[in-house]
Amino acid sequence: MTLSMYQASVPVFLRGLENLKAILAKGAAHAEAKKIDPAVFVNARLAPDMLHLARQVQIASDAAKGCTARLAGGEIPSFPDTETTFPELEARVVKTIDFVKGFTAAQIDGSEERICILKTRTDEIRHRGQDYLFKLALPNFFFHVTTAYDILRHNGVELGKLDYLGRP
């Protein structure tokens, strides 16, 4: 059986993004119910040298849209990292979902050997599509989704494993 790069990427990103959207909604509802300024959560971090919730969401979004576009050989849209509220973060996740949904299996399948280029401030890093997906993009995406979950959970939002995994 051959690997479908589409099935290994797009549905996985979409499920994670939908779950992240639901997690953010729970965070917003918790802030409202407990009369806590939502900015407390949006700016919260797990450790002083870690990125805050908003940045975790932005990076998860970037990972999903960047990987999908690179695997398809397409252009990556630039989303400005200006979100400072739960509604803005949720809107970014929805915009990312819409972008990722726009790709078909025909665009992504067969990208195992496609060279994916990541531009850093000082360099370009090249990966084969399959290595990029499994060794960098998916782990990075899940790291930031998990950290967003952890920040909210650490701050008292009632989240459980099924919020992270989603319902079957």
pTM, two decimal places: 0.95
| Dihedral-angle region of residue 128 (phi above 0 means left; psi in -120 to 50 means alpha; beta otherwise) | beta
What CATH class has 5-163? mainly alpha
- Is 80 exceeded by the pLDDT of residue 95? yes
* Chain segment 9-57, per-residue pLDDT in tens: 999 999 999 999 999 999 999 999 999 999 999 999 999 999 999 999 9
